[in-house]
Every structure is written in C-alpha cells, then in structure tokens.
Structure 1
C-alpha cells in the first residue's frame, strides 16, 4: 500500500511538473499580437490612393474576448481566456515619388491584457506599449477609369515596446519584425468594391525570452485578407470580410512550444462620414478557428479618421 501511495504521489508530481513546464512554454509564447495593433490588418478602402499632400490622423480602440488556448500539435487547454484592450495612434502622409503615388505611416499601440488564464492557471495583468510600426507604401498601378489600384507596402517593427523577460505576457516582444504586403482595390460600378491583401511577416530572434536567457525563434507568418464593400451613398458603407493567418510556428531553445499563428476570422464593418474629412467606423469579428494561441470569440474595433 505504501508503495502504491508513493507511486501515486510521484505520478501526481510528474503531472504537475509537466503541466507547469507546458504552462511556462505557452506563456512565453503569448506575446500580444492583436489587430489592429498589427498594422497589416486592413480595414475597408485601406488602399484608396488619396491625393499627394493629404494627411490622415487615426485613432483606434480594439477589444478582444478570447477563450480556449489550443496548442499546435497538442490539446486545447480549457479554462483559458484573455481580455484585451488596445489603443492605437496612427499618422499617414500621402505623397508622390518619381510619378508614383506613395507615402509613409507611423503606428503606436498601447494598452492592457487582463484576466489571463491558461488551463485554469491565472496569469498577472500587464499594461504597456507595443513596438512602434514604421511603414512606407507605393502604388505601382492606378487606373481610375477601371477603378483599379495595386499597392506595395513595407512595415518595420523595432523592439521599442514594453518587455519583461520574466513576465508571461508582454505587449512588446524584444525582437525586430518586418513585413511585406501587396494589395488590390477593385471597384465595380458605383457601389460595389473588393479589397484583397496578402502579407508575409518575418521575425528576428528574441534572445531574452522567458525564463530570462532562452532563445525564441519564429517562422514566417502569412496572412490573406478580403473585404467585399457596398457603398450605400457617399457617406455610408457596410462590408463583410475574411482573414486567414497561417505559419509562425515558434521554438524555445530549439523545442517547439505549441505556439503558432493559425486563424480563420470572419469580420463585419460599417463606416460613416460626418463630412468629407471625418469618418467613424466599427468592426465586429469572430474567430471561426484558432490554433497555436487563444481563440477570439468576440472582437470589436472602433476607429475615428480625420483628413487634413
């Protein structure tokens, strides 16, 4: 009987050790990367080539209610969740270079991650700033008669955000990220239009990943986005969209940690111009599937735009 009790105790300790290790690896991978704090996540009419000299000031508030954490190549950790509150300030300037419409933009995200749980184990709340986003864009092809515009965009994220290697959740990630994006905006008549975007995001190494001296590496993330837009009148539009993300598998000290980026998301958006220079927009979204991270059951993005 004593041997049986010892074995049961040892088995329980081993289970707890494995679960604790799994929790640590998962937590190390859970750097917040929600949209629109990721600048590559587009909203409808994002690729409209505005006149040179135009400036846009935009403010975003994004909320996310996240549930079960599903490990890549592993189980779904029930009793998981995360509440995200993120604000983003964005500035866009349109210009012309060598006869091509072009420009640059800057994003800065900040906010908090609250009520985080993985497998029933609570994680501390965190607040701070995300890595700044520096971006430049150019339209190699614009055809106003066919309402066609093709755009190329580059993004750079230096490691400027808040980061603590001993914290399980961070808004910054202590690594350089770069993204290349191509997009198409196509109009059909006076009301209907289509936006399509593809991007690939590349990651530098995080040499101070949890628990302090670990090396975190991540594969390339790919994203496909579409919006089908209907402009009811010059002031009001509604849109339905889809985002698919895949790739981005992570390794901590060379070992797969169960985190990657695999999301299938449905999106709905409406926008209204109070005057030609002032617009408000609201997006609601839901993850149909998510692997290698939290599933966002409900997301909302509010945006205000001012042109000058």
Structure 2
C-alpha cells in the first residue's frame, strides 16, 4: 500500500507543477524602477516512465504511462524602489490541462485554473556598470485553483506553498555571464487527499521542503539576441500520507536551454529542457515554454 500511495501522489502533483522556481536568462539582473510589464506564457510538458528509488516501474498501470500538460500563464509585474534598492512584485495565474494517456488512460483529464502565486524580489547589491547582481526573492502560492479530492489529477494543489530564493550573476569574460541561484520550497498540508492518496475518504498529505540549485552561462549575442543554458539539481520533498512516510525523496537532475529576443514591441523567449536523471516520480521527457513580455 505504501508503494501504491507513493505512485498516486506523483500522479497528482508532479506533472503540473514545476519542482523549482526556474529563472530565465537575466532574471537576476535588477529591474529599472517604475515599470509595469505583462507576461503571457505557454507551457507544454510530457512525463513518462515512473521511477521508484532509482528503478523504473513497468508493471500494472505504470507499464507505459504518458502524462501531458498544457498551460497558459498570465503574470503581471511592477518594479519600484525600496530605500533606493531595486525591487519587483508580480501576480501569476495559470490555466491548463493535465491529460493522462497510455497505461494511465483510465484516469480522467482535468482542465481548470491553477493556484495563484504572489512574488516579491529585492536587490541588496546591484552594479549595472560591472554587471554584478545579487537578488533575494520570496514566493507564496495560495490554493485558489480547481481541485476535486475524488480525482487524482488536479490543476490546483489544495495547499499553500512558499519559497525563498537567492541568485547571483556576474560576467565571466566579454559578453558571457554566469548565474547561480538556490531556492527552498515549503509546503502546507492537504487535508483533503482522497483519490490521489488511494483513499475512499479524505486523508492528510504533507511534504518536506524541497531545495533546488540552478546554474549556467548566459551569452549576449547582440543587443537583440541572448541565449542561456541552465543545470538544475533538485533534492528533498519526501511525502507522508496520513501517518505513513512514503520514502520518496526527490533527487532530480535536469537541464533547460533558453533563447531570448528583445524587440521594440516586447521580449520573446523560448525554452526547452528535460530530466537527465531522476530517483522518484515520472520522468519529464519534454519541457517547452514560450513567453511574450511587454511593457504597459
């Protein structure tokens, strides 16, 4: 039963939600105060083989799983100063679909609004001349999304999440910069976990904190085009259902490639990535993100 519950939790939570606060190239660069921006994103991911403690599961409904997600995300940002330090805040709301297929085709598709996220970042150190930046950000996600405890797939998680992140960026040589960021995410409890916890009645789901390190180069090709690459290491996040510890620590390595274009009408960015190594959960075989950001 412990093994099946662990599978069920991954089915509910991992496909739709990122395991970290992924940064785009130059997100650590301090913003110019007094600006308002809107960003619209399209996210498409695909998850397949399920891993349990480093071994692929190939029996029962997990013989050939396929879980695809599509999501449109709206983010509204405003930049300002706090005691002469650059700062930015934003609200973010997703709307998407989780669709199981393959050996998981018996599970219903879920479409709806995701959870609302509020974030604020401040830069205690910002040197635009020498391109050196240190930023600190806080994130809070509220359980405002669509959730039904009687189905395992939900676009909302029915729990609060918070995150603290610190990032640093500086030049390496010429127009090549390097960035590194570390964040830790904390999870509130979900007291209405039924189908996803293989329970006929609501039970409790709790999760330990999750820490992510991301780093990589950023290269400015010209005033218009910038590219970047990021490596992620994610650790922690084991869950408990009721009073039963699931022994399903997340230990994932993945990469993300980015290309940005800055035009007079706004910024367009494309990102592609996937998991390289995973210990527990469904492996992500594709992550594609397209974003458009404009000032208003």
- State the TM-score, normalizing by the size of structure 2: 0.89
1:126 correspondence with 2:110: yes
Is 1:153 equivalent to 2:130 in the alignment? no
Aligned-partner Cα distance in 2 for 1:283–1:36: 16
- The answer (yes or no) to whether the contact 1:93–1:103 under 8 Å persists in 2 is yes
Are 2:216 and 1:227 equivalent residues in the alignment? yes
Q: Tell me, in whole angstroms, the C-alpha distance in 1 between the residues paired with 2:68 and 2:87.
A: 37
Q: C-alpha displacement at 1:291, in angstroms? A: 2.5
Question: What's the CA shift for 1:205?
Answer: 0.9
Runs of 4+ in 1 over 4 A off after TM superposition: 21-25, 33-39
For the pair 1:112 / 2:101, whether they are aligned, the reply is: no
Cα distance between partner residues in 2 of 1:246 and 1:189: 31
Aligned residue in 2 for 1:3: none
How far did 1:74 drift?
6.4
Q: Distance in 2 between matches of 1:203 and 1:159?
A: 11
Matched, 1:83 2:68: yes
Supply the distance in 1 between the matched residues of 2:215 and 2:292 (Cα, whole angstroms): 21
Q: What is residue 306 of structure 1 aligned with on the other side?
A: 294
The structural deviation recorded for 1:132 is 0.5
The Cα shift of 1:23 comes to 4.2
* TM-score normalized by the length of structure 1: 0.86
For 1:37 and 1:249, the matched residues in 2 are separated by 15
Query: Counterparts of 1:153 and 1:35 in 2: how far apart (Å)?
Result: 22
Number of aligned positions between the proteins: 287
In the other structure, the counterpart of 2:26 is: 45
Q: Secondary structure at the match of 2:32?
A: coil
Segments of structure 2 that go 5 or more residues without pairing to the other structure are none
Equivalent in 150, 154, 160 of residue 170 of structure 1: 154
Deviations along 1:165-191, whole A, 9 cap, x unmatched?
A: 111111211111110000112124551
Q: CA RMSD in A?
A: 2.2
Q: Which residue of 2 aligns with 1:94?
A: 79
State the shift of 1:116 in Å. 4.1
Whether 1:246 aligns to 2:235 is yes
Q: Which runs of 5+ in 1 are unaligned?
A: 1-17
**In structure 2, do the counterparts of structure 1 residues 252 and 72 end up closer, same or farther at CA, with 3 Å as the change threshold?**
farther
Q: Which has the larger radius of gyration?
A: 1
The Cα shift of 1:98 comes to 1.2
